[in-house]
A and B are shown apart, each in its own frame.
Chain A
Amino acid sequence: MKYIEALRNTLHHLLEEDDSVYIIGEDISEPYGGAFKVTKGLSKKFPERLIQTPMSEQAFTGMAIGMALAGLKPIVEIMFGDFIALVVDQLINHASKFWDIYGKKLHLVLRTPSGGYRGYGATHSQSLERIFMGIPGIKVVAPNILSDPGEVLRRSLYLGKPVVLIENKLDYGREILESGVVDEVFTLSIYDATFPVSKLKVLNESSEISFITYGGMVQILRDVQRKLLFEEDITSEIIALTDISDYDVNLIVQLVESKRVLVVEEGWSHFGWGSQVALDLRLMANLEVRRVGARPFNIPAAEPLENHVLPTVDRIFEETLRMLSQEV
């Protein structure tokens, strides 16, 4: 099943099963069905449950927070991940405080598609989820193609705490992998924590390097993984987190088979998500940890420039070889 279908099916089921679920956002109803078509068709069956909005992200996010305070379960769609900059105050200064200081359970999910590689330029390509990481009272989750995105969405909605759910634009059209043997030479295991953690590694081989990542980077790392195996005979594993703000370091350390870890993210490296992950791993285990992420430029529209700024297969591949060439 495709990633987008898993999300859409889950939205459909949630609307069907639970009367308190509502979907809120711009252009989500028919005939448009959302900028990325995730809600396509839903307003036909549930006309009262899709609340289409004007372009007022701050106010309709606040409205969703109010609905959640009143016991409903709103799922907000922010059309592009870049636009979450508009809703920072409502999430950080309102939702997170109601959950924490007022001790209110809030069933609230804010979904947004993140990421670049499409030539959309500086304000439609970013991975800004870092803004919400480390904010008490907000959880940041990101599905990927190594487990069911719908399940991540469902768990987010029933968590009782505001969740920012980072989808990936390029993942929408990709097939979700089933656990077990993949492409004859790899094997996928899914560890069922509060939010799933997946590991994709070479079948019956121990891994020489571990990639820790989330979201759309999984696909790029799959290409890296194949290139390493087929061109260099190097075994690697991809450990993909879905709970990216409150991950279980112990579980990650248990899953890591190698002594070398490369933390890969699409967002900017400097002050990035990977900095915290790398530190957590170093404090917990004696691992050699490096990082790859976006270079510190606003994301350019031109393809060669965008590919210079964002992490690519070649850059991760080369960084891996460099790590493996050094003694640990």
Chain B
Amino acid sequence: MDVDRTLYIRLYKKMFLIRVFEAKVEEMFRLGKLRGTTHGCIGQEAVAVGVLENVDLSRDYVTGTHRSHGHFLALTGKVFELISELMGKKTGIVRGKGGSQHLHYGNFYTNGITGGMIPVAVGLGMAKKLKGEEGVVISFLGDGGMNEGYVMEALNLAGVYKTPNIFVLENNCYAMSTITENFTSGKFDERVKGFGLEYHYLKALDVVEVYGFFKKIYERVRKERYPVFVEFETYRFCGHSKSDRREYVVKEWEDFWHANDPLEKCRSRIPAKVVEDVEKEIINFVEEEFRRVLAAPYPDPGEDLF
């Protein structure tokens, strides 16, 4: 088996895990078995997986968004801990206190305020710079976040202080129900370049291409220590959140992305027998982990609030 195929299999496993996980979460919500809300990333898996395959959490920081289940699973594969967190169980990664949007695991942080982690990420990058540590800071943000004022301020600061930050824009075309390009004056690339930052763009159709494309950028920033902005065009097949009926979608985009689903593309590169085994294993694994979480304890106000 060639290296390329091995890579496709490895990345497919992660993409498929994320898709199955997110679908299972949607199902659990429909059945009324989850409280709160969730923001799925079905359709966008290639970005999370391709980008984070490069990353080493013992050295790098990663910051996410409200839509970060995929980032967490791509980094850790810890399904039990994530479901636990979503179900408010003590076995969750932050003992059930955070829920879907507030995740923390080692050097990985997410939060529920659009764009709010970008200034924080510049601070993590600043700390790396000041301490003379190796590693970089990879921060995801969405197209909605690109219209938040402090994201723009933070890009300026990253440029001023030359911090080792890689900003990863997952442009899924919609900020909730708002078609982002209709509410964006000018273009994102022009904004980013306006701050004097290096800008890269890729349509995230092929996870291996995302991986290789990002790897070059990542290695360069690791070595040369300066901020870079990477935009991935991607697409979300699910609603913004659990209550979204997706009445706003643009048919042409829907048709294109469904015909070019990066998960399908990746699957097509792997022998059918392998796909079958991998999928069966992952589906069973996710089902089993969900079952295990049902039996896990809830946090206790006396022990877990401080």
Contact = CB atoms under 8 A, between A and B. Distances in A.
Given A59-B119, A65-B120, A102-B98, A94 B113 contact: yes
Interface in A16-63: 22, 48, 51, 53-54, 56, 58-63
Contacts of B157: 53-54, 56, 59-60, 63
B127 A67 contact: yes
Contacts of A59: 119, 122, 150, 153-154, 156-157
Nearest to A86: B150
B265 interface: no
Interface residues of A, number: 33
B1 interface: no
User: Which of B94, B153, B161 has most chain A Cβ within 10 Å?
Assistant: B153
A89 interface: yes
Contact of A62 (B109, B118, B306): B118
Nearest to A93: B113
B127 A56 contact: no
A89 B131 CA distance: 27
A70 B160 CA distance: 20
B104 A66 contact: no
Given A66-B125, A69-B127, 7 more contacts: A56-B156, A56-B157, A58-B149, A59-B153, A93-B111, A94-B116, A103-B94
A97 B99 CA distance: 12
A289 interface: no
Contact of B127 (A53, A60, A72, A97): A72
B102 A66 contact: no
A63 B116 contact: no
Q: DSSP majority for the A interface? A: helix
Contacts of A89: 113, 116, 150
Contacts of A61: 119
- The 8 A-B pairs at the shortest CB distance, nearest first, are namely A66-B123, A62-B119, A70-B127, A59-B153, A56-B153, A63-B123, A58-B150, A66-B120
Nearest to B137: A66
A94 B121 CA distance: 12
Contacts, number: 113
B111 A67 contact: no
Contacts of B61: 70
A68 interface: yes
B198 to A, nearest CB: 19
Contact of A94 (B120, B122, B149, B306): B120
B228 interface: no
29 contacts: A48-B130, A51-B126, A54-B156, A54-B157, A56-B150, A56-B157, A58-B119, A59-B157, A60-B157, A62-B120, A62-B122, A62-B123, A62-B150, A62-B154, A63-B120, A63-B123, A63-B126, A65-B123, A66-B119, A66-B120, A66-B125, A67-B126, A69-B123, A90-B116, A90-B150, A93-B111, A93-B113, A93-B116, A102-B104
Contacts of B102: 97, 101-102
Contacts of A100: 97, 306
Interface residues of B, number: 34
A172 interface: no
B90 interface: no
B124 A69 contact: yes
Q: Is the interface of B mostly helix, strand, loop or mixed?
A: helix
Contacts of A54: 156-157, 160
A90 B111 CA distance: 11
Contacts of B97: 100-101
B104 A70 contact: no
Interface string B124-166: 1111101100000000000000000110011011001100000
A3 interface: no
A120 B133 CA distance: 44
Nearest to B122: A63
A67 B98 contact: no
Given A53-B157, A59-B150, A67-B124, A72 B130 contact: yes
Given A56-B157, A58-B149, A93-B111, A68 B116 contact: no
A104 B120 CA distance: 14
A119 interface: no
B124 A70 contact: yes
A6 interface: no
A63 B102 CA distance: 19
B89 to A, nearest CB: 15
A66 B109 CA distance: 10
A64 interface: yes
Contacts of A63: 119-120, 122-123, 126, 154, 157
Given A59-B153, A63-B157, A69-B120, A97 B111 contact: yes
A133 to B, nearest CB: 20
A58 B153 contact: yes
Interface in A104-128: 104
